[in-house]
Each structure stands twice: as structure tokens, then as C-alpha cells.
Amino acid sequence: MKTRNYFLTFGCVITALMIAFILLGYFWTPCDPMKMDGSVRESAPTLAHLMGTDKFGRDILSRVMKGAGATFFVAFGTVLIGTAVGTLVGALTGYFGGWLDEVLMRFNDALTAFPGFLLALVLVSVLGPGRRHLLLALGIVFIPSYARIVRTEFERARSQNYVKSAQLMGASTARILFVHILPNIWPVLLSAITIGFNNAVLAEAAMSYLGIGVSPDEASLGYMLSDSQAYLATTPWYALGAGLVIVLLILGVGLIGEGLQRKDL
């Protein structure tokens, strides 16, 4: 099929563009994202302000660039924590089973059934506000979903022949887990990572939309979206700017995930 290449190509192009956008924002923005200017409040897009300005006359494009970077940072970190810890927990519980599995899975169930934003709110309130803490909080919230996926795969792998033969050959457990099984479940994990990344972007945006763990000062996509709602009738482009960046971030990675999966077929 021709389509499958397009997915990967488009995904990579969009993601590359987004990363370039974020990297650019890290070093340079068209305006100072914090600079307030009373003379251009809530202005429509102009040459000086390509996405217009917000209620304090701050340049939306510059803030979106910074905000995208923050979102990416949180999402990336969340996936990193979620995957690392989740894989470890999932691998151990899935492979060994038994009471440890039972306990961890009950714990997982409870975490899954628990509203994520309450957990994040509590964690942020205990750890203190700030992006790093939000990252940590979301990372913890994301562990169960990875653990569950990895556990299922390891449980399945346990009874398969290549694992049994490795056991017979006397390979160490660590070796079986991470050298024999892990590469085999890599495709599943990879798609879980792409989906997880997108969920993390969504979660970060949702948290900052609800105002959890963000400072109104720093640019944040979710906070900008919630801020923009009050100005929807007069300045709809405010919402569009921030929203579009979230969409593109998710779309790029989503397409990559889709492309990779289709290749496997």
C-alpha cells in the first residue's frame, strides 16, 4: 500500500517542523514572551505579531513557541518516566506473576480508576508548583498504563518457545527479560510510546488548562487556551494559535505511530 509511507513521511515532517519550532523558540522568539505592551492589547494578527497579542499585549507567537517547548518537555519527561518505570514493573509482574503481580495490579487498577487530575493536583500541591513537579506527577500517573501493556506482553512471552528454550539454556532472568523478551515486544512498546506521548501532551495541556502546576507568567499552551476562552468572541485567533500547536504536536507523533504500525503488518 502506498498510504503507509505517507503516514511516516508526513509524521516525520510535522514532528521535525515542530521540533525545529520548539528549538527555535528555545533560543529565539520574535518578541520577548513576557513583554507587556498596553498599546497592542488583544490585537489581531499583524506583521509585528503574527498570531496577534493577548490581553496584556504580549506576543502570542512568542508565547506559543515557549509554551510548545514546555509542553514538549513535560510530555517527553512523562513518557520517559512512564516507560522506564512502567516497563520495569510490567516486566517483573508479567514474567513472575504470583502475589507481587496481584498486589501491583490491584495498585494499578486503583490508580487507573483514580481521577488523574486529582492525583496530579495532590502531587503538585505536595511537591510544590512548577513544571518539573508537574512532569513528575504526570509521569507517576502514566506508569500504570505502561505497566499494564508491558505486563500483558511479558505474560504472553513467558509461555512462548523462545523464552522456554532460553530458560532451558540457563540464561539469567535479567537476560531473558531484557535481551530476549524486550526486543520482541519493542513494536508494541513503540506504539505505546507514541500514544503515550500524545496522551502526555493532552494531559499537560489539560492540567494547565485547569491551572494546575503552572504559573500564569510562564507561557503554557493549556493556560493560554483557558485564558483565551474569555476573549473568544473578540479574539478567536488567540485560542487558535495555542490549540493548533497542540494539534500539530499530537498529529505528527500520531502519524509516526500509525506509519510504524502499518509497516509491521
Chain positions 124 to 163 lying near other proteins, rule: CB under 8 A, are: 125-126, 129
Do 197 and 79 touch, CB atoms closer than 8 A? yes
Residue 42, helix vs strand vs coil: coil
Binding piece for other proteins, criterion CB under 8 A, among 19-27, 77-85, 178-186, 210-218? 210-218
Q: Which DSSP helix (H) or strand (E) runs through 230?
A: none
First-to-final CA distance of the chain: 11
Residues that contact other proteins, how many (by CB under 8 A): 62
Judged by CB under 8 A, which of 12, 19, 88, 119 binds other proteins?
Answer: 119
- Tell me the C-alpha distance between 45 and 56, whole Å: 15
Chain positions 23 to 52 lying near other proteins, rule: CB under 8 A, are: 34-36, 38, 41
- Tell me the C-alpha distance between 221 and 199, whole Å: 15
Question: Is residue 17 part of the contact set for other proteins (CB under 8 A)?
Answer: no
Question: Is residue 210 part of the contact set for other proteins (CB under 8 A)?
Answer: yes
Question: Is residue 243 part of the contact set for other proteins (CB under 8 A)?
Answer: yes
Judged by CB under 8 A, which of 95, 142, 154, 209 binds other proteins?
Answer: 209
DSSP per-residue string spanning 105-159: HHHHHHHHHS-HHHHHHHHHHHH-SSHHHHHHHHHHHHHHHHHHHHHHHHHHHHT
Judged by CB under 8 A, which of 70, 91, 163, 255 binds other proteins?
Answer: 255
Nearer to other proteins, 3 or 161 (CB): 3
Q: Which amino acid is at 69?
A: G
- Tell me the C-alpha distance between 190 and 146, whole Å: 11
| Interface positions with other proteins (CB under 8 A) | 1, 3, 7, 34-36, 38, 41, 55-57, 97, 106-107, 109-119, 121-122, 125-126, 129, 198, 202, 205-206, 209-211, 214-217, 225, 228-234, 236, 239, 243, 246-248, 250-251, 254-255, 258, 261, 265
